[in-house]
Amino acid sequence: MNRSQTLTTALHAEHSETRLRAALDAGTGPEPGMLEVLIDRCGTEPDFYVRDMLTWAIARYPVDETIPAVIAELGSATPQARSQALHTLSKIGDDSAWPAISRELLTDADYETARCAWRAAVALVPEQEVTALAAILATQFGRGDADMYRSLSRAFVALGDAAEPVVAHAQRSADPGVRGHAAATEQLMADPESAFVYGR
């Protein structure tokens, strides 16, 4: 059994410790032919720490190989595959992936996919696209649970001053949930070190 076969077997082992070590090994010495295996495993791996190590391993491969392969996962029917691909793109940090962060992903019905899309978008957005991104993100005010509220508000904090008019406009919404979330976001943007306080 060659190294790629050994790693592939270990990445599907029963114990998470074995899978974690395999992901670490795969990233420490990138093996030709393993990139697809690592990306595919991201969509099914149940352990958070192993998934994070898989992302680290993928990021160790050449960008010209990783970006197209990870972007291909954004069209997966599996929410975890989409969300982990977005997380990986945000960690790689190569802005050539920006065009792949679509409105559909930013408004994905799956909460974790949407949250990962927000993080990836603010990490990769070109300066001239910030206002347009903020306008899309504003459609998500008032959505979801407390974690969703906080994640969206943090995304606006990351966008900075260019997003302020969009947040101000959302505070005039007819929806009280949108107004309240936008107001809490404005407060957090003014003082990013403060605690996020908002609940419906």
What average pLDDT does the structure give for the chain?
Answer: 93
**Based on the structure, what is the number of domains in the chain?**
1
Average of per-residue pLDDT across 13-36: 92
pTM of the full structure: 0.91
Does residue 163 fall inside a structural domain?
yes
Q: pLDDT of 34-78, one tens digit each? A: 999 999 999 999 999 999 999 999 999 999 999 999 999 999 999
Classify residue 55 as exposed, middle or buried by CB count within 10 Å of its CB (0-12, 13-18, 19+).
Answer: buried
Asked if residue 92 is part of any domain, the answer here is: no
Range of the domain at 183: 129-200
How far apart (Å, rounded) are the C-alpha atoms in residues 47 and 34? 20
